[in-house]
Structure 1
């Protein structure tokens, strides 16, 4: 193996290591191993690729992507519409965004070793709650438009008994928000009505209302009376807010809002051609169990210490499935952390100064417009002024030539056909920039500048038509004490020490591939040419993104065997939803809109049935046999029973049970024979890349998790990218966008705010694929499966492997059955998960897809040393369990039942346990040098749900305690 190649750095196993592992399996060659795992009728032995290139080293890949980046032109965009220039503090950029302790961590399901991230998210929820005045805020959502759509869904579910179908939308809502709402409303039969909130009629058929504050034209006004009208008929009011404007105005809760949504992008997160950005969702206490996504709550551990964990987890899709109120099971954790540390860095006074400076500069702009004779509406505004005039084309052309992008009015028109222009100010706006705009406006109308300087009285002219924030806010200590960089740096590092990430050891999660996120892959995302591009900038300024998106689309199409790709979905759940809508659009184009039944195996990801319901489909479950495969007879019978109504089958491949179903081709043929389409969930694609192509063995749609298979980091639970790849007949229906030409000629509406979703992190996957090349991608998949089979083989004498393929092998993951252990000792799967923390490991996936099991996926990036360390830990834990079985250890007071063990516990004066402190904290010899300490003992989840606290106490609350 070439030690200078990227492949040798990405893959943890040398050829010698691979040989040893194959020997344990009794197989001589890697290709023989692959032939034993992957069914022969789908195995691609040629690995031919139309677009993929040979591998290259990181230096060459960085040089190539730099050329692509230079095709972008980061002009100064004053377009607004939900995307703004901002400045991420260097401290936060270096120590969070570029710190693998933050970006390689997993979703904080194992709370005892995730306290750092949970604390940061708790602060984010506090920030949003303080901004909005609403008591319940979640740990972020995908983007503003989908957050608004989730608010619509919540309002609909809450009012379902009334059978109301109409949802009113403010005419000043952002265009992408309206478009996503339209996409989401149609399958559910919801009727959207765009209204002027100052002039509209209500009746009992309305279940909710969405207002934009400020509107896309910048208008700020008091919505109290409008919201009261909606409440009179039992509807809910959602307000989509700008968080920086909300710094100045009264919290929207004081106007009566039931739900507040928005994007935290302008809190330090680059525009990045549209994402990723942390959206937020806040609501009243009464709706806490309907809140979409994740919610961090406060609880206590078994020693009485306060501790944080994900709250109300009964909302998780894997439990509620088709009864779930949302298909979103992720968040934008890394972006939420960036946004909250931006707020911590500036504090409430700093945020207020930024917001006031924007208003002051906007007031000066209005004065200049008035001086030059430009007509504009005299209304209360925050950051935006819109002007309709005959000189608009000249203004745009001059601005463009001087390095500015202004909003073209009406939206979607060209500079040549512009009837007006809009200017939106942001954190980066300066007096010098304002002067340059003044000169442009004067030149466009052939006048000279008269006033060089004006200083409006901000207190007199700020806003008259909306109440301003009067009381102090964001008084919690964390937002006020870190004005010194040294102290803030130390605080960030304290949080880091309380979190387990790939920096510390393997995270062997089944179905959530946690592989190396190479440093070279991540470098380009912070380059100005990628980070500072507005998603609605002129096309000629985004030619680099065009090339990047084209390359990725071609490469992903090559690897999956499909002809069309959309990179718009910004999570796997959104990919599922988009893929199903594409299928439905195809059926409708054939005059078969009545096809509304979706067959889903009982082993499927929980988001699958939730997505199907969102797409307007009826879910019919398909049984699995004792080997974990789809029950072919049950599939045949139900496909025939619903033949006239069959829309699709959703199947995860390799299956969630960790095996390649040998009859996948037959499964696809059965569905096609009965008029349906096959949707393949690509969560487990890491076992297929380079080995088999879903489009070649019968699937019609596949979503790909770029944050798993293609190396975008999990970021502690987000960001993600979930593009869909589709067969040729479905390409006309790929999703569109109202402000950018993308998608097919018969496109479904958008599923995300931005045309290309989380575009700013696409360079990560581009770098990974470019450096690996087709041949090495195939090798990586093979090695990932070899690692899984090595673990299964080593652990099989101690734990039963629940499902295996036809040759006694697993695919990329294996499921360990712990149910017999519970029967013999009372030890639960959670006890083993918590005990693994003491051994220095993050637990595998717990109790899914089968209760009482652990699902282990090692990936190709782990070394043989680490694989053996994990196996040794699991074997040692099994011997601890054996001592309970033999009566040597107490059934209640033993190292597993009382795990994890914190530093505070093992150093306490009192030790009331029948096992030693060394056994508790240092069960493996190497831990004396490398110990990772859980920061809290086992957390009482039920206590936290009964006593939900999801934001920090205020100074007033603290003083009362």
Structure 2
């Protein structure tokens, strides 16, 4: 098979999509191979990958698609999408139809300047999305009345679990392990709470809030406002009872209901969570959607995920950056309170722009219209003779009636999906129906629904009457309402014409560095091409408008897509089964470990609780381990960066009777193929353990070697890395798990869908198939590439990394090398010596790269004082050379400091990055020229990228935390 990835020009040229996906041409590949001393790609790959895991002649090609061009792939997936039957779904339960403004769809959702950017770890070149996230945090803070809001979480259910974990950790009473849960909690949220509670030893007490008992073992309470049945009520008394015993109160809120209601924080609630999906984001069969998390100042250092804060730059100007505990799991590891290391940035950005677009008055009008339509519907149903509980509601009505099956059947025949009651029942067994109104609801639709309900009674509906007299505030009688003005910040009141909105969106986009601007060589992050053809199906109504709890017979297209993707991913990794439910790599880790734990439980080996983790592992690994109820035991690495086999042998023997798993990243976090990986897996199995392989570096393996074949039992796959889902400025992500045959029965299930194994663990995400709405991207990538294209792409990823390593080794020594002194798909450059000789550190070089027009590689991870470079297969030889030229030029600048020809403090590296304002200022008091500052390479004359701000003072921002815009009143005060 390797002859298919040889240096023959005809191969790349004959593969329609492959030549678009790859950066280097066939001639470039030949040149790179020649510089590395190899005749063809076959010899090179054999030199990089250990012979005992490299599959020279794979026998699974027939189980994967043959590559094709984008036209054929789009036609194929269109035929699959047409199998979906998109009805008007009024099911609710946290998922609603929305109207995404066309200007936001075109200029944000479909704009590569927004969707190809990476997590804003280099803040100076991420000011655009940081401002959009700052707006999101401000929106959530204003909605909830709580001062600290993060930059989004993965979904509402996992946000609820994070709130439970925070409450549990914050409670100081010994033995407090019971969590009160409102019985009107959304079913998917309850499922995830149960999954997360068990390993922590938390007991869930689910009942009516009026029946809560406030005993000494209570550490927190969880309320759903409005509840699943639409009920709204005043929680102030309950909050007081909880606070009297030192328990925290979390409320899951509907952001549109909160537009009308008094902020939940004003009622004493400690934590507010929810989903921002209603703010313009399509349902997408369950995701991705931005969850939110808000709380009080006292918990600001315990907030999970990312927090955008305001600081100042070197010129004293305001500047934004990620604040406080942004990557606490990498610092605290097994002591971390959360394994969350990502967010739903693109979706949070869309929600923020949606709020900017509508402003407070527009949002109020939408919420008021929804509640009026709900009230009209309820009023007319009572006239028809339906019995409805007299409770305060927002958007939802639930009706129990003997004719419920007829209502559902007639509704479906007329294009509507209603909520089937009880939840999970079939239409024929329905005892009732529920309707949740949303932004797309109209009087005409209301009329159609009432005709459905009348017809089920054998009656006719005469038409709506007196609908103009309803008042939204009056419909919430007895509920605390919002009295004070809110969302008065200028950003939410200024850009209401499309012209101004357009300019604002692009003004922010210009402040960001994305793949539109150049290579983002971040190690371990795999910033490769996100082809437009891959993204096109995501916006199709047949995928975007599906409700995740729509009947299965309406989702045959999605089910087909899932089956294809699961089978292809299982084949490529050598495993027996796949779950697409985890919606981030961290959630994949957690899910995989829970599957292992459940397997041990089935074997009555619950005593196995030790997880061995190499010291070089991602910080999420130990955090996930503890969340799953395991105890972490670290394993040392040797001088070459590999797992210290003797230490592993010793630990495996010491903990043999209680060994549960080894978590290993492969190729290693140090960027090499460890030659003993088979021996490592065999050793763990010999002692009764399982091998969890972190698939963050799978881009070095696809089509070349398979974790399930060389010994792993579980592997999570980052579809937002290897399989081309864009990073979206820091999210969304998808982290499915692939497992060996004996673990398939334990794959995650869901309370409202048939998914997972026969002995499934509980849900780990809110939706049955996680971020289903973007899975078409990976399907398209695999369909267009085909097996041979995938194998070729992995080979070029290895080639590009080794080319860069060779070019730069004399200037920046490559810290770790594997077989034949080669690296895998990434390399680590050692910069530590510069600190000793010149005072120049890795951050100075990272910031200076911005002046050269590059995003820095991964800084100081996994080794402090180094850069981890991953060029991927999608960057051209010209771009690789441009990067190497920039790095070598920076090394020459360091040399000038070493020789004393350049001042150790006042030099281009210490002052980097250089903004347009600084370079064009009237006064220039620096011993180097403006040209050297801003245009160090002659090639930049036509393509100069300007950082939006100069170097940001992170410490100042943490000492003076500001994570939302002040209101006009606060600003004046």
Matches within 5 A, 1:371-410: 371-410=383-422
Structure 2 residue matching 1:668: 3-state secondary structure: helix
Shift of 1:959: 2.6
Tell me the alpha carbon deviations over residues 835-875 of structure 1, each in whole angstroms, 9 at most, x when there is no partner.
Answer: 00000000000000000000000000000000000000000
Shift of 1:956: 1.4
Tell me the alpha carbon deviations over residues 630-686 of structure 1, each in whole angstroms, 9 at most, x when there is no partner.
Answer: 011111110111111111000000000000000000000110011100000000000
Matches within 5 A, 1:33-432: 33-49=44-60, 50-313=62-325, 315-432=327-444
Q: Give distance in 2, aligned partners of 1:205 and 1:567.
A: 37
Contact 2:582–2:735, Cα closer than 8 Å, also in 1: yes
Structure 2 residue matching 1:289: 3-state secondary structure: coil
Structure 2 residue matching 1:524: 3-state secondary structure: helix
> Corresponding residue for 2:8?
none
**CA RMSD for the aligned pairs?**
0.9
Contact 2:137–2:964, Cα closer than 8 Å, also in 1: yes
Matches within 5 A, 1:604-619: 604-619=617-632
Structure 1 residue matching 2:188: 3-state secondary structure: helix
User: 2:5 aligned with 1:24, yes or no?
Assistant: no
Structure 2 residue matching 1:293: 3-state secondary structure: coil
Shift of 1:160: 4.6
Distance 1:460 1:493, change over 3 A: closer
Contact 2:15–2:67, Cα closer than 8 Å, also in 1: no
Shift of 1:161: 4.8
User: 2:648 aligned with 1:648, yes or no?
Assistant: no
> Corresponding residue for 1:853?
866
Shift of 1:459: 4.7
Contact 1:86–1:267, Cα closer than 8 Å, also in 2: yes
Structure 1 residue matching 2:744: 3-state secondary structure: helix
Contact 2:306–2:326, Cα closer than 8 Å, also in 1: no
Structure 1 residue matching 2:476: 3-state secondary structure: coil
My pick for the range that moved more, 161-170 or 495-504, is: 161-170
Contact 2:401–2:431, Cα closer than 8 Å, also in 1: yes
* Matching residue within 548, 566, 570 for 2:579: 566
Tell me the alpha carbon deviations over residues 187-220 of structure 1, each in whole angstroms, 9 at most, x when there is no partner.
Answer: 1111011021012211110000000000000000
Q: Give distance in 2, aligned partners of 1:305 and 1:957.
A: 20
**What stretches of structure 1 of length at least 5 have no aligned partner?**
none
> Corresponding residue for 2:824?
811
Q: Give distance in 2, aligned partners of 1:454 and 1:574.
A: 50
Q: Give distance in 1, aligned partners of 2:418 and 2:906.
A: 68
Q: Give distance in 1, aligned partners of 2:934 and 2:205.
A: 61
Shift of 1:4: 7.1
> Corresponding residue for 1:466?
479
> Corresponding residue for 1:828?
841
Contact 1:573–1:607, Cα closer than 8 Å, also in 2: yes
Tell me the alpha carbon deviations over residues 699-745 of structure 1, each in whole angstroms, 9 at most, x when there is no partner.
Answer: 00000000000000000000000000000000000000000010000
Structure 2 residue matching 1:416: 3-state secondary structure: helix
Shift of 1:957: 2.6
> Corresponding residue for 1:719?
732
Q: Give distance in 2, aligned partners of 1:376 and 1:245.
A: 21
User: 2:714 aligned with 1:701, yes or no?
Assistant: yes
Q: Give distance in 2, aligned partners of 1:672 and 1:545.
A: 37
Shift of 1:806: 2.2
Q: Give distance in 1, aligned partners of 2:462 and 2:965.
A: 51
Q: Give distance in 2, aligned partners of 1:213 and 1:373.
A: 28
Contact 2:327–2:341, Cα closer than 8 Å, also in 1: no
> Corresponding residue for 2:5?
none
| Residue-pair matches, total | 960
> Corresponding residue for 1:774?
787
Contact 2:277–2:283, Cα closer than 8 Å, also in 1: yes
Contact 1:220–1:465, Cα closer than 8 Å, also in 2: no
Q: Give distance in 2, aligned partners of 1:426 and 1:53.
A: 40
Tell me the alpha carbon deviations over residues 387-434 of structure 1, each in whole angstroms, 9 at most, x when there is no partner.
Answer: 011010010110011110000000000100000100100000011100
Q: Give distance in 2, aligned partners of 1:353 and 1:4.
A: 53
User: 2:644 aligned with 1:631, yes or no?
Assistant: yes
* Matching residue within 6, 25, 33 for 1:14: 25
Structure 2 residue matching 1:448: 3-state secondary structure: coil
> Corresponding residue for 2:9?
none
Q: Give distance in 2, aligned partners of 1:764 and 1:326.
A: 29
Tell me the alpha carbon deviations over residues 535-571 of structure 1, each in whole angstroms, 9 at most, x when there is no partner.
Answer: 0001111000000000000000010000100000000
Q: Give distance in 2, aligned partners of 1:349 and 1:271.
A: 24
What is the TM-score of this pair, normalised by structure 1? 0.99
What is the TM-score of this pair, normalised by structure 2? 0.98
Shift of 1:108: 0.2
Contact 1:179–1:738, Cα closer than 8 Å, also in 2: yes
**What stretches of structure 2 of length at least 5 have no aligned partner?**
1-11
* Matching residue within 479, 484, 495 for 2:497: 484
User: 2:579 aligned with 1:557, yes or no?
Assistant: no
Contact 1:47–1:774, Cα closer than 8 Å, also in 2: no
Structure 2 residue matching 1:162: 3-state secondary structure: coil
Q: Give distance in 2, aligned partners of 1:714 and 1:48.
A: 33
> Corresponding residue for 2:3?
none
Q: Give distance in 2, aligned partners of 1:454 and 1:560.
A: 62
Shift of 1:290: 0.2
> Corresponding residue for 2:676?
663
Tell me the alpha carbon deviations over residues 90-140 of structure 1, each in whole angstroms, 9 at most, x when there is no partner.
Answer: 000000000000000000000000000000000000000000000000000
Contact 2:301–2:325, Cα closer than 8 Å, also in 1: no
Structure 1 residue matching 2:233: 3-state secondary structure: coil
